[in-house]
Amino acid sequence: MLKIQHSEGLNIVPFIDVILVLLAMVLSISTFIAHGEIKIELPKSDSSMQSSNDSNKIQILINAQDVYYLEDKETTLEEIQKRINTLDKQTIVELKSDKNATFNSFVQIIDILRTNHHENFQIITEKNQ
């Protein structure tokens, strides 16, 4: 005679774990999409420089984790170098660096600009209150 064992119930703990991981991923992605911008905390200064409305400009951002962004897209120093090489010398380069980014990241961008003799750049900061 064949004995059939019935389980007491369905173990849903692994299912709940997977759902919680998926929920965390969706929430983190949707937060970035909702803001639509890269979060950086600019350093403060008395003579702050605000972003210009000039259409002949590009933006380079460095976040607190020293990740580079060119026109709001994650990039590398090599790609920034290539883009600066192709720029007209009159194009304004706006440099925004998080106050917690390493100074080395900032210096590398300035070095790329100076190596290419591109002196038309602005360092964007926040006004001291």
User: Cβ(113)–Cβ(76) under 8 Å?
Assistant: no
Instruction: For residue range 15-32, list pLDDT tens digits in order.
Output: 888 899 998 888 777 655
pTM: 0.65
Helix or strand run (H / E) with residue 115: helix 103-115
Q: Return the SS3 of 121.
A: strand
Q: What residue ranges define each of the domains in the chain, with the CATH number in brackets?
A: 44-127 (3.30.420)
Residue 82 pLDDT: 94
Residues in the chain: 129
Q: How close are the terminal C-alpha atoms of the chain, in Å? A: 85
Contacts of 110 (CB under 8 A, 6+ apart): 95, 121
**Residue 45: partners with Cβ closer than 8 Å, 6 or more residues away:** 125, 126, 127, 128
* CA 113 to mean position of chain CA atoms: 20
How do residues 62-83 score in pLDDT, each as one tens digit? 999 999 999 989 999 999 999 9
If pLDDT is split at 50, 70 and 90, which confidence band does 129 have? Answer: confident
